[in-house]
Amino acid sequence: MDMNSFKKSLSENISPQNISVYLKALWYEGKGDWHKAHQIIQDINDSNASWIHAFLHRKEGDIGNADYWYRRAGKKRPTISLEKEWEEIVESLI
């Protein structure tokens, strides 16, 4: 799977099969289902999940919580757009 096919899959009703839990969370977020994305990722305790968790809270507007998760991911809150960050995370996980 590449970014183009991942984005195209957003028009489908179900997520692509055989994608990681990280990409599944980002797929739901890409479809506008922040709550489902958060539900999927919130209990995973590693740096990839922390990065996605940070992104979700940044998108939500909860910057304090986002910054906590960015620190856990070993990253700083970016100044790029949310859309660009989403793509950056997806690209790193494909």
19 in helix, strand or coil? coil
State yes or no: pLDDT of 1 exceeds 90. no
User: Token digits for 46?
Assistant: 């590693």
What pLDDT score was predicted for residue 80? 97
What pLDDT score was predicted for residue 57? 97
Distance CA 82, CA 57 (A): 11
**Mind listing the pLDDT tens digit for each residue in 42-92?**
999 999 999 999 999 999 999 999 999 999 999 999 999 999 999 999 999
Contacts of 91 (CB under 8 A, 6+ apart): 3
11 in helix, strand or coil? coil
**Residues 51/37, Cβ–Cβ less than 8 Å:** no
User: Token digits for 63?
Assistant: 């910057």
What pLDDT score was predicted for residue 70? 98
81 in helix, strand or coil? coil
Say how far residue 83 (Cα) sits from the centre of its chain.
10
Distance CA 26, CA 19 (A): 11
